[in-house]
Amino acid sequence: MIITLDQTVPDATRTAIADAAALLGSGYRELVWDDGARVVAIDGDLAVTIADLPGVTGLFDKHKAYMLASTIARARSTVQVGNAVIGSAQPTIMAGPCVVEDRETLIATAFAAQAAGATILRGGAFKPRTSPYAFQGHGELGLQHLAAARDATGMPVVTEVMEPDQVDLVATYADMLQIGSRNMQNYPLLRAVGKRNVPVLLKRGYAATVEEWLMAAEYILAQGNPNVVLCERGIRAFDPAFRFTLDLNAVPMARELTHLPIIVDPSHGTGKRSLVGPMALAGIAAGADGLIIEIHPDPDTALCDAAQTITPAQLAVITAQANAIAQIRQPETALLPVG
Ligand code: PEP
Ligand code: MN
């Protein structure tokens, strides 16, 4: 169940809830959102007398699988990454190469991304390659290049962390930690990023249901980190014409179920350069709070994912059109039931 608390809740109330939760064999998980709102998630139903304690503003006994991520815990949330905000009216554009290459190319790409309207720089230093023989990324050197690009442009950076033991290192350099599709259900990793207050970009597993994705987000929230952004990046379907199939059903579906910001990755979601623009715009029309797109100054020579990588000039067109679509879409995309 979810218990909402006001900001001045006395410690005695917390202790009473924790004691009652312990009787149920559940932990006491209190999450403080950036705006100061507080919720406690308990695995089980406590006695209703909790409702009368000072500081308790609500009790809800639904959505046991992902209570903190659900719209019962709060209506909408925003996540701040450096000077960028995800979840506001304006779509947030994250862009950069699939993999960080040399420092000069990365810095040039970062300036080009910024000029094209991106506010967060992406780039992989530790890469989850499907083949163990493929280029695995430059590791810490890549992180240093990302930090140099941030220093040069002022853009915060998002990069992937693949192992719990790497979280400290990656968090030293990154403004946002990316959990890749292949790691969406790596629970030790989810717990490790949940123990820090750093923003997390949680990509949907390419064979995961929306509910499994929200439960993965719950692992992070349940450790006390409220800064989670979801990313729909395509699921495995039957047609080899596409690397993955961007599941845009998932965007308004997740929007109904969770308050967390949701972005769309049309690069991995299609695998094909010519489809990135149309599916990026479709994602914004479906209600996404932003996009993450792979760009490179010379896409054909990109060391990773060249086939789905576009130019900064192409990104600029997408950004302008995405902003225009965001202005005309409904603030809440769900239509009222008819009749
Ligand atoms: C990436 O963004 O570079 C990446 C590897 O994505 P995914 O985990 O979605 O495949
Ligand atoms: Mn990639």
For residue 125, name the pLDDT band (cuts at 50, 70, 90): very high
180 in ligand 1 pocket by Cβ < 6 Å? yes
Distances from the Cα of 192 to the Cαs of 163, 206, 339, in angstroms?
A: 9, 22, 47
Give the distance from CA 279 to its chain's centroid.
18
DSSP state of 11: H
Ligand 1 near 268 CB (within 6 A): yes
Q: 63 CB under 6 A from ligand 1?
A: no
Asked if 202 and 231 count as a contact pair (C-beta separation under 8 A), the reply is yes
Over residues 211-216, the mean pLDDT reads 98
98 lines ligand 1 (CB under 6 A): yes
CB-based burial label for 336 (10 Å; 0-12, 13-18, 19+) = exposed
The closest-lying atom of ligand 1 relative to the alpha carbon of residue 304 is 3
Question: Which has the higher per-residue pLDDT, 255 or 41?
Answer: 255
Phi then psi for residue 139, to 5 deg, are 60, -135
| pLDDT tens per residue, range 14-41 | 999 888 888 888 877 889 988 888 898 8
Q: Is the four-CA dihedral 30, 71, 235, 143 of positive or negative sign? A: negative
Examine the pLDDT at 339 and tell me if it is beyond 50.
no
Q: Does residue 52 carry a pLDDT above 70?
A: yes
**Confidence class for position 252, pLDDT limits 50, 70, 90:** very high
- The residue type of 270 is T
Looking at residue 99, the DSSP 8-state letter turns out to be: B
Q: Distance between CA 291 and CA 283 in Å, rounded?
A: 8
Kindly tell me if the per-residue pLDDT of 172 is higher than 60.
yes
> What are the pLDDT digits (tens) for 73-124?
888 999 999 999 999 999 999 999 999 999 999 999 999 999 999 999 999 9
Q: What is the pLDDT of residues 54-77, one digit of tens each?
A: 999 888 876 578 999 999 888 899
Instruction: Indicate which atom in ligand 1 lies nearest the CA of residue 183.
Output: 8
What amino acid occupies position 203?
K
Q: Is the CB of 150 under 6 A from ligand 1?
A: no
Q: How far is the CA of 56 from the centre of ligand 1 (A)?
A: 41
Helix (H) or strand (E) holding 96: strand 92-96
Higher-confidence position of 22 and 145:
145
Give CA–CA dist 254/209, Å, rounded.
11
